[in-house]
Amino acid sequence: MLMFTLRRFLQLIPVFFGATLLVYFLVFATPGDPIAALSGGKPMAPAVEAALRAQYNLDQPFWVQYGLYLKNLVTLNLGQTFSGQEVSAVIARAYPVTARLAIMALAFETVFGVLFGVIAGLRKGKLFDSTVLVASLVVIAIPTFVLGFVLQLVVGVQLGWAKPTVSGSAPWNELILPAVVLGLVSLAYVIRLTRASISENMNADYVRTATAKGLSRRRVVVVHILRNSLIPVITFLGADLGALMGGAIVTEGIFNVPGIGNLLYKAILTGESATVVAVVSILVVVFVVANLVVDLLYAVLDPRIRYV
């Protein structure tokens, strides 16, 4: 177990270097001059421009810039935005919002996904099952931005149940609608996965044996069907948490949520290379750690998994 965890942590290292290098290179190679963007496209005194380039190390070759960046990253100095703010401070402001959104979305998809999935799986072929199946298919088929705008319009504007956009501090209650939109597609997948898993396990030999032992129906379902069925679902949810924590550019954009997705999107548009690379580096780490947690959790749930 310890060896397994350690090895997985060691695997983080090449992933981290690979991802940061790739992202750094992409930002480096992006057409457009950040210094020119800084001045709003107006001509700038050559001395000022040179000084600015030197300040952000933009006059150095790629490898030197990357090396400097890594050095700063290790010392937790993520650099500054062009407006002079510390990138770390900007991220620290945006991340809690995204984390809150992600947790709410995950809670939403877990609770309803497992609930509907279990009921549908146990009543396979009945009305509830068919309805849920069709509905989940519809949700999967519609792109998030359509769902987002439609819900924003109907729930936020026409019905007025929620604020159509989120205010600066992004309180929990205002994040409900974005969280639902964000979790909706995953909800559909969780339902389908749970349903398939349940209906498959219902026919398992050990479930029949459990019934033959004289257990009540309820106990058979809860102890023998549910736990086994939830193993793949939890794997999916864990991976999804990693994805959600990476921010949701589309959803955050629609509801104007000041989260990490929005920050990244704006940084890409303005060529803020320091911010982009810092955010992506963090996201890579978050994603890999989330997957590690899933693997460990999987092994806890299923004793047959060996840590190798």
Partner 1 sequence: MIGLSGSNMNKSPRPAAPGIDDVPLLEIRDLAITFDTQGGEVHAVRNAHLTVMPGETVAIVGESGSGKSTTALAAIGLLPSNGRVSGGQIIFDGEDITHASEKRIIELRGNSIGMVPQDPMSNLNPVWKIGFQVKETLKANGLAGSNSKERVAEVLAEAGLPDAAVRAKQYPHEFSGGMRQRALIAIGLACRPRLLIADEPTSALDVTVQGQILDHLDRMTTELNTAVLLITHDLGLAAERAEKLVVMYKGQVVESGPALEILRNPRHPYTQRLVNSAPSLASKRLQSGKAREALAAAAAATTVEVREPADVRKMEAVAHEGELSSHKKPAGRGETILEIKNLTKVFKLRGSLGKSTDFKAVDNVSFSVKRGTTMAIVGESGSGKSTVAQMALSLLAPTEGSILFDGVEVNTLKGKALFDFRRRVQPIFQDPYGSLDPMFNIYRTIEEPLKIHKIGNAKSREKKVRELLDQVSMPSSTMQRFPNELSGGQRQRIAIARALALNPDVIICDEAVSALDVLVQAQVLNLLNELQEELGLTYLFITHDLAVVRQIADDVSVMQHGRLVEQATTDEVFNNPQQQYTQDLLSAIPGAQLLI
For partner 1, which is the closer residue by CB, 42 or 217?
217
* Binder of partner 1 out of 17, 209, 222, 269 (CB under 8 A): 209
82 by DSSP, 3-state: which?
coil
Residue 231 has which token pair? 């193993």
* Binder of partner 1 out of 45, 74, 127, 308 (CB under 8 A): 308
**Is the CB of residue 256 less than 8 Å from the CB of residue 174?**
no
* Binder of partner 1 out of 71, 126, 213, 266 (CB under 8 A): 213
* Binder of partner 1 out of 71, 126, 208, 266 (CB under 8 A): 208
Shortest distance in whole angstroms from residue 229 CB to partner 1: 10
For partner 1, which is the closer residue by CB, 42 or 218?
218
- Which amino acid, one-letter code, is at 208? R
Residue 294 has which token pair? 């899933």
* Binder of partner 1 out of 32, 40, 160, 303 (CB under 8 A): 303
For partner 1, which is the closer residue by CB, 12 or 231?
231
For partner 1, which is the closer residue by CB, 26 or 297?
297
Residue 254 has which token pair? 């629609």
Binding mask 224-263 for partner 1 (x = CB under 8 A): x--xx--x--------------------------------
What residues pair up with 169 in beta bridges, in sequence order? none
| Conformational region of residue 247, where left means phi above 0, alpha means psi within -120 to 50, and beta covers everything else | left
**212 touches partner 1 by CB under 8 A:** yes
Judged by CB under 8 A, the stretch of 139-147, 150-158, 203-211, 269-277 that binds partner 1 is 203-211
- Cα 173 → chain centroid: 20
For partner 1, which is the closer residue by CB, 58 or 207?
207
Shortest distance in whole angstroms from residue 209 CB to partner 1: 5
Shortest distance in whole angstroms from residue 228 CB to partner 1: 6
**298 touches partner 1 by CB under 8 A:** no
- CA 213 – CA 37 distance, rounded (Å): 74
Shortest distance in whole angstroms from residue 215 CB to partner 1: 5
Shortest distance in whole angstroms from residue 40 CB to partner 1: 59
Site residue total, partner 1 (CB under 8 A): 27
86 by DSSP, 3-state: which?
strand
- CA 102 – CA 99 distance, rounded (Å): 5
Which whole-number Å values give the CA distances from 118 to 22, 24, 100, 185, 195, in the listed order?
42, 45, 27, 18, 6
Q: Please count the helices (runs of H) and the strands (runs of E) in the chain.
A: 14, 0
The overall longest dimension of the chain from CA atoms, in Å, is 87
- Cα 15 → chain centroid: 18
For partner 1, the binding residues in 2-61 under the rule CB under 8 A are 3
CA-based end-to-end distance of the chain: 8
Footprint of partner 1 (CB under 8 A): 3, 203-217, 219, 223-224, 227-228, 231, 301-304, 308
